[in-house]
Structure 1
Amino acid sequence: MTTLVFGHKSPDTDSTGSPIFWSWYLNTVKGTEAKPVLLGEPNTEAAFMLQHWGLDKPEIISDVAEGQKVVIVDTNNPAELPAGINAADITAIIDHHKLVGGLETKGPIDITVRPLACTATIMVDLIGAQDMAKAPTAVKGAALTCILSDTLEFRSPTTTDHDRAVAQGLADDLGVNITEFAAQMFAAKSDVSAFSDAELIRMDSKEYEVDGTSFRVSVLETTAPEIPLGRKDSLMETFKAVQTEDGVDQVLLFVVDILKEEATLLVPNDLVKRVAEKSFGATVTGDTVVLPGVMSRKKQIIPVLKV
């Protein structure tokens, strides 16, 4: 049986590239038939990665069959995975997020969760230098793109010295100038003109519950924050439809300015105003609030949320 390798819903660059990376390893090095798949359309930066390195877009699936062998990467949260995940045969998890709980397996499995900024960094370590030397340019390129994306070119507070070293090693091997390549990546990520408001809200989004209130916590990382912020009125109006359709109490949308290293939170109501003031110590006077230094949902947003 072919093993399906996938990351979370609303796939970003890491959840698009890491399944490709790990499937190459399983197929080529381990001799295990594997196939990368996605749980939704990749975002614009991930699409850039596929085009730049000449990679085929993986098939998009909506669920997994009972007994299907799978490897889960870049998440361990059942809310971000197919509805039938606990009936599948999970053979491994490779992740860099906190343990959420709720996944069930058929037996003992390989689990690697490390405090690094990117799943691809962990994979480079697991594969080892000898086998990494066998990886084709496109696979190494995907790994590099994932790391630069998740670290925001080393600006994110989740970045470790090891992430930086692995990325630099890949870049040197590929002959890539990190600064120039990252600028291309972020330009692609910032081009959101073709997306509806609902698509923007769900593009890089995860569900979390805080003290009995369920949130869809969405992040838009961009070098052109004026583009999504210019749509703030329609975005906030669309929050209501997304909340109803997704069964959450509130949407929190953070527009992260990569270059200024700050986030702007849209504030549509008193609940979000209270969240902003209690969580970030901010003073809210309008329908947006700037949060200096806030760039990471995993490290600087989710852990501090209060209602």
Structure 2
Amino acid sequence: MSKELVFGHQNPDTDAIVAAKAFSYLENKLGADTEPVALGEPNEETKYVLNHFDEPALRVITKAAPEVDKVMLVDHNEPQQSVSDIADVTVTHVVDHHRIAGFETTQPLFYRAEPLGCVSTVVYKLFKENKVEIPAKLAGLMLSAIISDTLLLKSPTTTPTDVAVVKDLAKIADVDYETYGLAMLKAGTNIDSKSEKELIDADAKSFEMNGSTVRVAQINTVDLDDVFKRQAALEAAAKDENKTEGYDLFLILATNILNSDSELLVVGAPTEPVEKAFGKKLANNRLSLPGVVSRKKQVVPPLTDAFNA
């Protein structure tokens, strides 16, 4: 049996890193030969999580085909979010919680996707279904991933299943998830030490919307003013990436994790679908989006509808 690589999306967040580790562990327990890897370095929040549980970071790859013939995907399925040579390898497994777009294979595969707040919640269910015990350290990592993706269970993507799984994982890991979760989220909001390019690249995904390539980055903070005092520099960085990477539109969603409000910075064109999606007019290239915290559920769907209208 040849080894397979397991990885999440580019610009990995905590869930992409943890889900790769967790699903690889499960598959190996079930008899597979896999290695979890990452498509980028961990962000500050993920570094906090790994340090807290004394867990090593994953090896970073830029291509898979030189190493393996087959791969397993977690926390994504869209090709533009995956490894650069995804077309040159066979995808045997996908475990996800996002929309399915632009994904096809020539061979049958294992595909598990559920509309839950975090893919680590889906992986948890797979552990239970296969009667594989979750070690305490891995439980702590998976707990962290769910806290991250659901903003400590405050995001509208949160489901009752996510809540129940968080409580169970917290017991296994022996963690006070509310205290730990807030400290973890705050660890990821220190933006002063980062360049504008680092800020817009840390948590960004690309989406094809009716012929336009839309890049959506999210920056978590505890003070939106800390982000927008750098608006001109952020716009310049986004314009540069639009030019070099071929994006039509770059959206920067700055989210206050304490009050669950966001502000959207729009760079590029067309802007009309953005205004239509949220029913507001741009002012100074910005839109105020109170109560919006989820790119997956509150930003991408209305944008997609507006572009397709």
Alignment of 1:113-262 (within 5 A): 113-128=113-128, 131-133=131-133, 135-262=134-261
Query: Contact between 1:70 and 1:92, CA under 8 Å: does it hold in 2?
Result: yes
Structure 1 position 277 matched with structure 2 position 275: yes
Instruction: Provide the rounded CA distance (Å) in 1 between the counterparts of 2:13 and 2:32.
Output: 25
Shift of 1:213: 2.4
State the AA in 2 paired with 1:192.
I
* Residue of structure 2 equivalent to 1:94: 95
Structure 2 gap ranges (5+): none
* Residue of structure 2 equivalent to 1:290: 288
Query: Contact between 2:152 and 2:182, CA under 8 Å: does it hold in 1?
Result: no
* Residue of structure 2 equivalent to 1:21: 22
Instruction: Provide the rounded CA distance (Å) in 1 between the counterparts of 2:120 and 2:46.
Output: 14
Alignment of 1:29-68 (within 5 A): 29-65=29-65, 68=69
Shift of 1:259: 1.5
Query: Contact between 2:116 and 2:122, CA under 8 Å: does it hold in 1?
Result: yes
Structure 1 gap ranges (5+): none
Counterparts in 2 of 1:286 and 1:83: CA distance versus 1, 3 Å? closer
Instruction: Provide the rounded CA distance (Å) in 1 between the counterparts of 2:124 and 2:56.
Output: 21
Instruction: Provide the rounded CA distance (Å) in 1 between the counterparts of 2:121 and 2:43.
Output: 20
Instruction: Provide the rounded CA distance (Å) in 1 between the counterparts of 2:225 and 2:30.
Output: 47
Instruction: Provide the rounded CA distance (Å) in 1 between the counterparts of 2:105 and 2:130.
Output: 34
Look up the SS of the partner of 1:57 in the other structure: coil
Shift of 1:270: 7.5
Instruction: Provide the rounded CA distance (Å) in 2 between the counterparts of 1:124 and 1:210.
Output: 32
Q: Deviations over 1:57-90 (max 9, x none)?
A: 1100001116522110000100011232122122
Instruction: Provide the rounded CA distance (Å) in 2 between the counterparts of 1:267 and 1:100.
Output: 23
Shift of 1:224: 3.3
Instruction: Provide the rounded CA distance (Å) in 2 between the counterparts of 1:117 and 1:38.
Output: 21
TM-score with structure 2 length normalisation? Answer: 0.92
State the AA in 1 paired with 2:284.
G
Instruction: Provide the rounded CA distance (Å) in 2 between the counterparts of 1:125 and 1:145.
Output: 16
Q: Deviations over 1:87-118 (max 9, x none)?
A: 2122110000111133324x211110111111
Instruction: Provide the rounded CA distance (Å) in 2 between the counterparts of 1:4 and 1:84.
Output: 13
Query: Contact between 1:267 and 1:286, CA under 8 Å: does it hold in 2?
Result: no
Look up the SS of the partner of 1:128 in the other structure: helix
Instruction: Provide the rounded CA distance (Å) in 2 between the counterparts of 1:266 and 1:164.
Output: 31
Instruction: Provide the rounded CA distance (Å) in 2 between the counterparts of 1:70 and 1:209.
Output: 23
- Larger displacement relative to structure 2 (57-66 or 285-294): 285-294
Instruction: Provide the rounded CA distance (Å) in 1 between the counterparts of 2:180 and 2:173.
Output: 11
Look up the SS of the partner of 1:108 in the other structure: coil
Look up the SS of the partner of 1:90 in the other structure: strand
Query: Contact between 1:207 and 1:217, CA under 8 Å: does it hold in 2?
Result: yes
Shift of 1:21: 0.9
Q: Percent identity?
A: 33
State the AA in 2 paired with 1:12.
D
Query: Contact between 1:76 and 1:103, CA under 8 Å: does it hold in 2?
Result: no
Q: Give every structure 1 segment of 4 or more consecutive aligned residues whose post-TM-superposition deviation is greater than 6 Å.
A: none
Shift of 1:25: 1.4
Query: Contact between 2:97 and 2:118, CA under 8 Å: does it hold in 1?
Result: yes
State the AA in 1 paired with 2:160.
D
Shift of 1:137: 1.9
Q: Deviations over 1:235-293 (max 9, x none)?
A: 01111111112111121101011121111012457844x34421111243334321111
Root-mean-square deviation over aligned CA pairs: 1.8
Instruction: Provide the rounded CA distance (Å) in 2 between the counterparts of 1:146 and 1:285.
Output: 35
Q: Deviations over 1:147-171 (max 9, x none)?
A: 1111111111111000110011111
TM-score with structure 1 length normalisation? Answer: 0.93
Query: Contact between 2:249 and 2:268, CA under 8 Å: does it hold in 1?
Result: no
Look up the SS of the partner of 1:166 in the other structure: helix
